[in-house]
Structure formats: structure tokens, C-alpha cells
Amino acid sequence: MIEMFLYDEEDEAKIKFVGFVGEHSRYDLTLIYTDRHYGKTMVLNTQNNTFGIIGRDDLEEDGYISHILGLSPEEGEEVTEYLNDVIDI
């Protein structure tokens, strides 16, 4: 039996599905824009079932994107380059 809910909320979201090919791999990402995560974007890597809640500060941290999305360093750089264009400042 559930004794207490921590939260049970609904929120409007904008969802973007994107697939692209870089020099090192093919990428299939889902980006979920919502006010829920303090302005950060939820990024799902649908090829390996990983995700991260990513903001501009995370894109500047060396190696973070490859780590959080389960990518090689080279793949992480390609995805970071793409995310720099689509994640709000």
C-alpha cells in the first residue's frame, strides 16, 4: 500500500524526435522540453536506453555527454555539437 506520494503532477511538454548521422555513428535522440527540470532538457538516447537531464552547463563539462548517454568520447563530441544548437541558453 502506498503511504505517501512524493509528487504526482502533470506538465505540458514539447517533444522532439531527431535522427542524424555523424562521422562516428548514427544517433536517435528524443528531446523533452518542459519546465519540470529547472529549464534543462531531458535527452533520451533511444539506441541504448540511456538518458540525461541536460542544460547549457552540462554541455560545457568535458566528457559529460558521452558518459551520461553511454557514448564513446568521439560520439559524445558529435552529440554535444548538435545539442549546443538545440538546447536553450
Is 1 within a domain? no
Does residue 56 lie in a domain region?
yes
Q: Is residue 6 part of a domain?
A: no
Average pLDDT over residues 72-81: 97
- Is 26 part of any domain? yes
Its domain, for residue 70, covers 14-86
C-alpha 47/C-alpha 1 separation (Å) is: 35
Is residue 72 domain-resident? Answer: yes
Would 58 be classed as within a structural domain?
yes
Q: What is the pLDDT of residue 17?
A: 97
Asked whether residue 28 is domain-assigned, the answer is yes
Q: What percent of the chain has pLDDT over 70?
A: 99
Long-range contacts made by residues 47-55, C-beta under 8 angstroms, separation at least 24?
Answer: 54/83, 54/87, 55/87
pLDDT digits (tens, 9 = 90+) for 29-66: 999 999 888 889 999 999 999 999 999 999 999 999 99
d(CA 61, CA 68): 11
Tally of structural domains, the chain: 1
Task: Give the model's pLDDT for residue 89.
Answer: 53
What CA–CA distances, in Å, run from 25 to 47, 67, 71, 88? 11, 16, 10, 25
| Residue 24 placed within a domain | yes
- Kindly state the cell numbers that stand for 62: 568535458
Per-residue DSSP letter, 46: T
- Its pTM stands at 0.88
